[in-house]
Amino acid sequence: MFLIERYVIAETGRPVLVMVSILVFIFASYSAERYLAEAAMGTLGLPAVLDMVFYKVLIALEVLVPVALYASVSIAVGRLCHDSEITAIAASGASPLRIYRAILLLAVPISLAVAMLSLYGRPWAYTQAYALEQQSKTDLDVNHLLPQRFNLNDDNGRMILAERIDRSDGRLHDVLIYDPGARTRVFRADEARILNPDPDDPIVELKQGHSYWLQHNATRDISETFASMRLHLQPIEQSADVKRKASSSKTLKASDALQDQAELQWRETRGLSATVLALLAIPLSRTRPRQGRFSTLLPVTAVFALVFYAGDICKTMVGNNTLPLFPGMWTVPLLMSLALLVFIARDLTSFRFGYR
If pLDDT is split at 50, 70 and 90, which confidence band does 123 have?
very high
Mean pLDDT along residues 304-314: 91
3-state secondary structure of 248: coil
What is the C-alpha to C-alpha distance for residues 204 and 46, in angstroms, rounded to an integer? 25
Least Cα distance to 12 among 109, 118, 112, 121 occurs for 109
Instruction: Classify residue 34 by burial, with Cβ atoms within 10 Å: 0-12, 13-18, 19+.
Output: middle
pLDDT digits (tens, 9 = 90+) for 273-287: 999 999 999 998 887
Give the pLDDT confidence of 177-220 residue by residue, as tens digits: 888 766 788 889 999 887 777 766 778 888 989 888 877 666 67
Q: Is the model more confident about 145 or about 165?
A: 165
Residue-wise pLDDT tens digits, 78-113: 888 877 788 787 777 778 888 999 999 999 999 999
Task: Give, as one character, the DSSP assignment of residue 237.
Answer: P
- For the chain, domains (ranges, CATH) are 3-136+241-354 (no CATH), 151-235 (2.60.450.10)
pLDDT at position 334, please? 95
Beta bridge partners of 179: 185
How far apart are the C-alpha atoms of 229 and 227, rounded to whole Å?
7
Largest CA distance in the chain: 98
Cut 0.75: pTM above it: yes
Neighbours of 143 (CB within 10 A): 12
CA angle 170, 175, 177 (to 5 degrees): 100
Q: What is the dihedral of CA 280, 284, 285, 289, to 10 degrees?
A: 140
